[in-house]
Structure 1
């Protein structure tokens, strides 16, 4: 009986061990299966993410490249436009400056004579028969035509040169023609006031150079025409330098240009 009991116990223990082994083996197989399935899914997910990331990266890079290309196109267009505008500005400034030099040349034969005289000699020289023989045939219309018609209307340069610079060139022309007109009037009537006291001329000087410039002008005993021309030429070149450097002129400068134009239009001779 003891033997039978021992056999039964031994068989039970063996069976229990076998069951335990089977359970451990099955559990291990299940764990490995789950792990393999998880690893497979994880790798698949990683691959999907990597592919998706690459696609997004390529799209982003493409968008960046397109953005850079668009920006470059915009910048290039702006630079091209600015270059064209600056070229037009320089061309207009050069044209106006050329007009100033041309007016100076056209009126030089008459204004140089007045320029070298002292103010006290002015009236006496106009009464001199030799002077009358030399300048008595002054044709104001011819002078005006030679000054104004050289490059067509100065207004064609107004858009790009700016109001102030254009007004200075116009004032320069108006002053030179005004002095020539006063010379003609004095030849007709030697008792006419001397040109440097002319109200219209002094108003232009005040508008262009400032009211204080009149006292400086009145201190000059000779070379009055040269003083006027040099002062306005300097003003023109300074303003041109500001414009070409990209500086924006103030509202006061635009208001001054308006006043200069008013006084210049009032002073210029009517042919």
Structure 2
């Protein structure tokens, strides 16, 4: 009696013929071979993946060790620098703070002592300013003395080494502006046009030098409150530079060059 498998093969052969049997056997062989290749590749890639993971873990641990070492090294440098700073620079920091306090008190005192008659002109028109000497304010104008400007700021120059050139340049320019304004009002006794201080070319150059071209254009387009505007711009600029100074940040080369230029301009005006 024939085996079942032989019977099946005989049945298939009978129904499909030799060509059909070969096609089926070929498909089965390709399927088997594909599965074997997939299994082989999977094993190969799994092995490589494990090796790569091990290598990356080793590199990561090595890099982490190097990074920790570098962080520790920099931390030690900062600790040494901080210790050195606290010992060597502590007195200088205290002097800087004292200098800033003295400077700001000087600025506030100058504003308080600034002639009220000049402050009043912030609300006057050009023609009204020019007619002040012929009106009720003549007595106050005649009492103006140029020396009062020096009294505004006292001996603040002694703090200059602790304020730095940038902060000092801002302050010195402000001092020059106020001095020039008082001077022009004194000159108004003989030439009333001098009292229109915001039209003075020296004032314009100082404003342009300290506040920049853009702010200078804003200043020239104002219709009133010019002194108030100038005080506000100065406060903002000075407080920013003071914050920079006390934070220990170094001023950039551009800021230092601008400060030197401004101080040079003031020096040339003085001579």
Equivalence for 1:171? 173
Residue pair 2:165, 2:259 contacting (<8 A) in 1 also? yes
CA distance in 2, matches of 1:191, 1:252: 37
Closer, same or farther in 2 for the Cα pair 1:188/1:244, shift >3 Å?
same
What is the DSSP-based 3-state SS (H/G/I as helix, E as strand, rest coil) of the residue aligned with 1:160?
helix
Residue pair 1:116, 1:222 contacting (<8 A) in 2 also? yes
How big is the shift at 1:195? 0.8
How many positions carry a matched residue from both structures?
194
Residue pair 2:194, 2:200 contacting (<8 A) in 1 also? no
Equivalence for 2:137? 131
How big is the shift at 1:145? 3.7
Residue pair 1:178, 1:267 contacting (<8 A) in 2 also? no
Does residue 144 of the first structure (1) align with residue 149 of the second (2)?
Answer: yes
Closer, same or farther in 2 for the Cα pair 1:255/1:110, shift >3 Å?
farther
Q: Which has the higher contact order (CA 8 A, sep 6+)?
A: 1
* Aligned pair partner of 2:228 in 226, 229, 242: 226
* Aligned pair partner of 1:80 in 87, 95, 98: 87
Closer, same or farther in 2 for the Cα pair 1:122/1:193, shift >3 Å?
closer
In terms of Rg, which structure is larger? 1
CA distance in 1, matches of 2:216, 2:230: 10
Residue pair 1:123, 1:190 contacting (<8 A) in 2 also? yes
| 4+ residue segments displaced more than 4 Å | 71-75
Equivalence for 1:264? 266
CA distance in 1, matches of 2:168, 2:100: 8
Equivalence for 1:113? 120
What runs of 5+ residues in structure 2 fail to find an aligned partner? 1-77
CA distance in 2, matches of 1:208, 1:73: 39
Q: TM-score, structure 2 length as denominator?
A: 0.64
Closer, same or farther in 2 for the Cα pair 1:75/1:248, shift >3 Å?
closer
Residue pair 2:149, 2:178 contacting (<8 A) in 1 also? no
Q: TM-score, structure 1 length as denominator?
A: 0.64
Question: Alignment RMSD, CA only?
Answer: 2.4
CA distance in 2, matches of 1:123, 1:156: 38
Residue pair 1:93, 1:240 contacting (<8 A) in 2 also? yes
Equivalence for 1:214? 216
CA distance in 2, matches of 1:160, 1:222: 37
CA distance in 1, matches of 2:135, 2:268: 32
Residue pair 2:122, 2:226 contacting (<8 A) in 1 also? yes
